[in-house]
Amino acid sequence: MPATSRRTSVFTESLIREMSRVAARHSAINLSQGFPDWDPPAALVQAGKDAMDAGRHQYAATWGAPELRAALGAKISRGLGVPVDADRELVVTCGSTEAMMAAFMTVCDPGDRVGLFSPFYENYNADAILTGAQAVHVPLHPPHYRFDPTELRRAFAGGLKAFVLCNPSNPCGRVFTREELLQIAALAEEFDVWVITDEVYEHIVFDGRQHVYFATLPGMAQRTLMCSSLSKTFSITGWRLGYLHAAPEVIAQARKVHDFLTVGAAAPLQHAVVTALNFPASYYDELTAKYAESRDVLLGYLDRTGLSYTRPEGAYFVMLDISPFGYASDVEFSHWMAKEIGVAPVPGSSFFAHGENRFVRLNFAKKPETLHAAGERLLKLKR
């Protein structure tokens, strides 16, 4: 048998998926993988059925069905506060996952260096490997997950082609402040670097915080490739719908990358989701309120365990400090927790570039009854 590719032979099996299997083996409540355990809005599900009945079965325009792009353009325009040309500044993708891959391939060549914060969402390293780019990690220091401006500057000064920004951030729950984002923007300008943003949790921010779209910062519209998704906003992670928004010159190239990667996202679902994009503004407020409630249920139980955690500012994950248990391996701890406590987390080390064994990540995109059941079990962790 000939050798398989060296480039992808370095991929390891996702620890998140492994923990889902461990959860099933021990009948543990699965707080590892990040998806909601409730159904999407009924009107959206109905629109999906209607789109099938209406015969939307063949390829849509490769960069997105016109009515979806129009609806997305209106949404993005409301967020950015500027007009959006849905014909020239937008590509509909198979989730933010594909948007990120297309963004990397649009601006990076093999050998380029791409900066990203650590801890990071695991796909970014894979995106770099698939592009042939080299990831350069900048630490977000626990427990507050803030960056050191000197370390960030050193990464930019070392020569970057692009910087990846996940905001609100998975796994650490940071919502970066305008001041922090301005520091990143100043470095991007000074060192002439693209900024690829992953803003899938744009509508899940807590305690009155405001999500600042990176592209709205002075001078940043021209150098930002904004990736986002409908997965989290409408609880449709399995529909695989996302988008990439950037300047027309960038999108002209990204469209071709997208075409060769996937041709396009599922046509009937593209039509269906227009219904959700037309929901009133109150939909987004209710979504935020629902996640804030879920967060508070889980944090309430964690408070009772006496363990330390980082209070999430956004997204739907919490990093729990497991150092009092004295495990040398967070993977071992996570297996123990699934088996003995009955709740499956993700070992924190899967998100950090350099050996970090002190944390596990719990996901609270779950119904209150799931979270209460998990919370009762978590009380067994009490120190």
**Interface residues with ligand PLP (CB under 6 A)?**
34, 95-97, 121, 166, 170, 198, 200, 229, 231, 237, 242
Of 251 and 315, the one with the shorter C-beta distance to ligand PLP is 315
Closer residue to ligand PLP (CB): 95 or 342: 95
Least distance from ligand PLP to the Cβ atom of residue 173, Å: 11
Instruction: Report the residue number, 161 or 232, with the smaller CB distance to ligand PLP.
Output: 232
Sign (positive/negative) of CA torsion 228, 231, 233, 234? positive
3-state secondary structure of 196: strand
* Smallest separation, CB 379 to ligand PLP (Å): 27
Contact criterion met (CB below 8 Å) for 88 and 71: no
Nearer to ligand PLP, 67 or 122 (CB): 122
Contact 204, 288 (CB under 8 A): yes
CA distance 183 to 150: 11
Minimal distance, residue 95 CB to ligand PLP, in Å: 3
Distance in Å, CB of 286 to ligand PLP, minimum = 21
Q: Rounded to the nearest whole angstrom, what is the least distance from the CB of residue 89 to ligand PLP in the complex?
A: 19
- C-alpha distances (whole Å) from 343 to each of 95, 192, 369 are 28, 45, 14
User: CA geometry: angle at 347 spanning 317 and 334, to 5°?
Assistant: 110
The single-letter DSSP state of residue 188 is H
Task: Check: CB of residue 328 under 8 Å from CB of residue 346.
Answer: no
Closer CB to ligand PLP, residue 170 or residue 310? Answer: 170
Integer angstrom CA distances of residue 189 from 55, 156, 218? 48, 10, 10
Nearest distance from residue 376's CB to ligand PLP, in Å?
26
Please provide residue 149's backbone torsions phi and psi, each rounded to the nearest 5 degrees: -55, -30
For ligand PLP, which is the closer residue by CB, 344 or 381? Answer: 344
How many degrees, rounded to 5, is the angle at CA 155 between CA 154 and CA 161? 135
CB 244 → ligand PLP: shortest distance, Å? 11
Residue with smaller CB distance to ligand PLP, 122 or 321:
122
CB of 218 to ligand PLP, least distance (A): 25
Distance CA 270, CA 274 (A): 7
Least distance from C-beta 217 to ligand PLP, angstroms? 20
Contact 377, 341 (CB under 8 A): yes
- Cα–Cα distances in angstroms (integers) from residue 333 to residues 29, 301, 322, 350, in the given order: 16, 19, 8, 13
Output the residue with the shortest Cβ distance to ligand PLP: 95
Nearest residue (CB) to ligand PLP, 119 versus 142 = 119
**239/309 with CB nearer ligand PLP:** 239
* CA-wise closest residue to 169 among 380, 373, 361: 361
